[in-house]
Structure 1
Amino acid sequence: MYVASVRPSERVRGKVPGTVVALGAVSLLTDVSAEMVTAFMPVYLLFTLNMSYAQFGVLDGLYTGATAVLRLVGGLVSDRTHRHKAVAAAGYGLSAVTKLIFPLVGASAFGIGATMAADRAGKGLRTAPRDALISLATPPDRLGAAFGLHRSMDTVGALLGPLVTFLLLYWLGTVAGPVFVVSGCFAAIGLIVLVAFVRENPRPAPTGPRPSIRAGLGLLRQAGYRRVAVASALLGLATLSDAFVFILVQQATGAPLHLLPLLPLGTALVFLLAAAPLGRVADRVGRWPVFLGGHVALLAVYALLLVPGTGYAGAVAALVCHGLFYAATDGVLSARVATLVPESLRASGLAVVQTGQALARLVSSVAFGFLLQYAAFGTAVHTAIASLVVAVATSLYLTTTARPT
């Protein structure tokens, strides 16, 4: 097993390194931008352009899975060049540019799909280098707290993004242009903060395997790392995208359609309150048990969709469980993986696991879109519940029957 490392000068007792705080500010601004688009897309595609659930599932899967290959590229390039910040900046810049392209493609499904893919490609390029910057700047016994703080700041943006979208739609109606322009402005400011305020301390060339795609994928030969990668991909396959969760909550509870862009606020608020505390809990009791516990919370979300007549109370309960799911999984998985890979392959090791999850969620979105299109609501939700139960049970088996290494 490899242990995350950090420079001695950065070991400040009881504090999270400044690099983590600065990256949190970047993610906050970028997530305002990203969540504006996420909140707007279901309304725009399903109810303005009148796309079917199957078409929406394909586009949503593309939006999720387009990050896959470039996660590997971002991880490899940043490990090879030791310039994690520069690679992350390229990803943030690509996503910022796409926000200005969205208004130009109009109602073209191909244009929207291509632009969504480019936007998510930017996310794929930046995610592993950014998480590597966090893990390399943080002592191993505080990784959960560091990722928890970063995700909490990120979630402030996720909280503000849907609210900004709702206000724009309330004032201007369902007009795409202003939403994407304002989103692009937030993304540009986030990129400026990254370039100006995130410091990447010079480091000697790390010892360990030479970075390459083969070396990154070769980590899968290590039993502990392979079990985490396989289990997280299985769980990703049984995880519905946020867009589908919010659509299902709106339909199951009978909430007015105009409130759909506000539903992500509930998830984001709970995530904001719970991410840092659950990160500290994960440092103490183990990151994998907390990660699996988050998927039990997601199972509760699915189950609540089948309870009749819950109204607004049911919507609130589902969103609370959804927020707890993200708080227990989003940063916790990165903290777990960071301890399993050598420093020289830190970004690549994170990228391989993230790629598996992205590809699994692409398949999940496409499959569930077709299921919701051609099957009854209850059948679709029961299928999602059964898939998640199997995935959690299999992941638990993989990680509890393994021999100690």
Structure 2
Amino acid sequence: MYLATTGRRDAPPTPSGVRRRVPATVLALGTVSLVTDVSSEMVTAVLPLYLVLGLGLTPLQFGFLDGLFNGATALVRLIGGHAADRGGRHKRIAGIGYALSACSRLGLLLAGGATGLIAASLAADRLGKGIRTAPRDALITLESPPEDLGRAFGVHRAMDTTGALLGPLAAFALLWATADAYDAVFVVSFCVGLLGVLLLAVLVPGGARTTTAPPTRAPLRPSAAPRPSAASRPSAVLLRPLAPLRLPAVRRVALATALLGAATIGDAFLYLLLQHRTGLDATWFPFLPLGAAAGYLLLAVPAGRLADRVGRRRPFLYGHGALLLAMALLLAPLPDALLVGGVLALLGIFYAATDGVLMALTGPLLPAGRRAGGLAVVQTAQALAKVAAATGFGAAWTFWGPSTALLLACAGLLAALCCAARLLPAEPPHGRTTP
């Protein structure tokens, strides 16, 4: 039996002043994400340290690989979102993505020390994430009241981040108990990933029924030969996933998101910069993501509620302002403890105010039948921009040093914030979505 069988989008509005419950589908998806993130973070917690300090990659090489892994999801995001909208197959497409990520752990187990196979397995994990993200987020927007989307995404992201916290801790505990047997980590990660797929199948209802009946066509005359329509041409088929960009508001959100993404250095680079500035011992490096994740976990729901109350544009922009401040702190002559604490706290604020809030901002701008595809377009614009940002920052660090690279990144993010503030569209009134 499914945990939830009806969508909140059809429910009557709740009277003002009455506290609304988080939809059961959101809680179910949050549980799936929590379990899946435990599996994923068990094997990725030490990736930046392993590549840069273990294998000796330069920051330029690491920036290219980090951007490649994030950018590898771009095309599959579009395909996954478009496929989910066709027939309302959100759950099925998301399940494929979760299963692919789980199976990638077997690739790590079989890879041994082969760097190429390890990279392929990590890429498979990212592809699985790219496939599932838009259909999953579309389900959240379709099953939640529009006026509570910020809170719904905040609850989901908080549960997701709980998994991100537990994953590294589970991996370190397992390594300690098995005397650094990495194969054991990969096996346990695979089993936990399969559990996430099973929970999706059992707890989450099928995708939203958002399809409409196909338009009727006049019968062809006996002597008339069918002509290929413009929509059936190969170029038109390839561009179908980009159809949500025809909506002006979605175009503006995608452009603003791309500009901000192109000026956003990855959190992995922030951790490496902290290690570079403070001389942090390699033993403590894997705990840096846990500090940022803890801040995200504590602030995700309050940030979502604030976004529902004051509008989602301002928290989204303020969140990028927190990232700008974190980057600026790395240039300031601060004590090591204050520097580490400040950067991690601001990074947690950045994710809490931007990740789910962006989806809550975009969702109501899209018709229900294009919800997954539209969210995928915005996510893809952000992912592709971050590829350029990671590669560019890595190149600047390699050729000019970390301080110059940070100054350039700060200037770029400040300029992107000014542009995004003018580009982001006004939000529809709470309780209304695009039909």
The alignment's TM-score, normalised by the length of structure 2, stands at 0.85
Q: Alpha-carbon deviation of 1:346?
A: 0.5
Paired residues of 2:87 and 2:210 also in contact (CA < 8 A): no
Looking at structure 2, the residues matched to 233 and 399 of structure 1 have their Cα atoms a distance apart, in angstroms, of 12
Q: Name which of structure 1's ranges 189-198 and 345-354 shifts more when overlaid on structure 2.
A: 189-198
What is the rounded CA distance, in whole Å, between the counterparts of 2:245 and 2:153 in structure 1?
Answer: 23
SS of match in other structure, 2:46: helix
Distance 2:12 2:207 in 1: 11
1:134-145 to 2 correspondence within 5 Å?
134-145=140-151
* Letter of the 2:259 counterpart: L
Letter matched to residue 194 of structure 1: L
The match for 1:240 is 265
**Which one of the candidate residues 20, 23, 39 is aligned to 2:26?**
20
**Counterpart in 1 of 2:46?**
40
SS in 2 for 1:308: coil
Decide which structure has greater helix share.
Answer: 1
Query: Quick check: 1:7 aligned with 2:32?
Result: no
Distance 2:408 2:176 in 1: 36
What's the offset of the Cα at 1:186? 2.2
- In structure 1, the residue matched to 2:70 is 64
Q: 1:136-171 CA distances to partner (integer Å, 9 max, x unpaired)? A: 111111111101100010010111122223334555
2:205 is equivalent to residue 180 of structure 1? no
Give runs of aligned pairs for residues 79-98 of structure 1, distance below 5 A. 79-98=85-104
Q: Which moved more, 1:67-76 or 1:210-219?
A: 210-219
Could you tell me which runs of 5 or more consecutive residues in structure 1 were left unpaired when the two chains were aligned: none
Q: Does 1:259 align with 2:259?
A: no
Q: Is the 8 A contact 1:39 1:162 kept in 2?
A: yes
Per-residue deviation at 1:172? 5.5
Which residue among 314, 318, 326 is the counterpart of 2:339? Answer: 314
C-alpha distance 6-115 of structure 1, shift in aligned 2 (>3 A): same
Give the deviation of 1:309 after TM superposition.
4.4
- Against the structure 1 CA distance between its residues 234 and 306, is the aligned structure 2 distance closer, same or farther, given a 3 Å change threshold? same
1:295 is aligned, of 298, 320, 325, to 320
Mapped pair 1:222 → 2:225: no
Gaps of 5+ in 2: 1-6, 216-230, 428-435
Question: Does residue 268 of structure 1 match 2:271?
Answer: no
For residues 303 and 202 of structure 1, the distance between their equivalents in structure 2, rounded to whole angstroms, comes to: 44
Opposite residue 231 of structure 1, the aligned amino acid is A
Residue identity matched to 2:157: R
1-structure distance, mates of 2:425, 2:200: 40
Worse overlay, 295-304 or 367-376: 367-376
Q: Contact conserved, 1:6 with 1:137, CA < 8 A, in 2?
A: yes
After superposition, the Cα gap between the structure-2 partners of 1:241 and 1:181, relative to the gap in structure 1 and judged at 3 Å, is farther
- Alignment RMSD (CA, Å): 2.7
What amino acid sits opposite 1:39 in the alignment?
A: A
The more displaced of 236-245 and 207-216 is: 207-216
| Residues matched between the structures, number | 400
Alignment of 1:201-212 (within 5 A): 203=209, 205-206=211-212
Change (3 A) 1:174 1:315: farther
Structure 2 residue aligned with 1:376: 401
Q: Give the secondary structure class of the aligned counterpart of 1:339.
A: helix
Cα distance in structure 1, aligned partners of 2:107 and 2:393: 28
Larger radius of gyration between Structure 1 and Structure 2: 2
Q: Compared with structure 1, are the counterparts of its residues 175 and 235 closer, same or farther at alpha carbon in structure 2 (3 Å cutoff)?
A: farther
**Distance in 1 between residues matched to 2:116 and 2:388, nearest whole Å:** 19
1:397 and 2:422 are equivalent in the alignment: yes
Q: Deviations over 1:2-33 (max 9, x none)?
A: xx981227979611110000000011111112
CA offsets 1:248-277 (integer angstroms, 9 cap, x no match): 122223322211111111111111111111
CA gap of 1:114–1:316, structure 2 versus 1, over 3 A, is same
Q: 8 Å contact 1:250–1:315 — kept in the other structure? A: no
**Structure 2 CA distance, aligned partners of 1:35 and 1:139?**
31
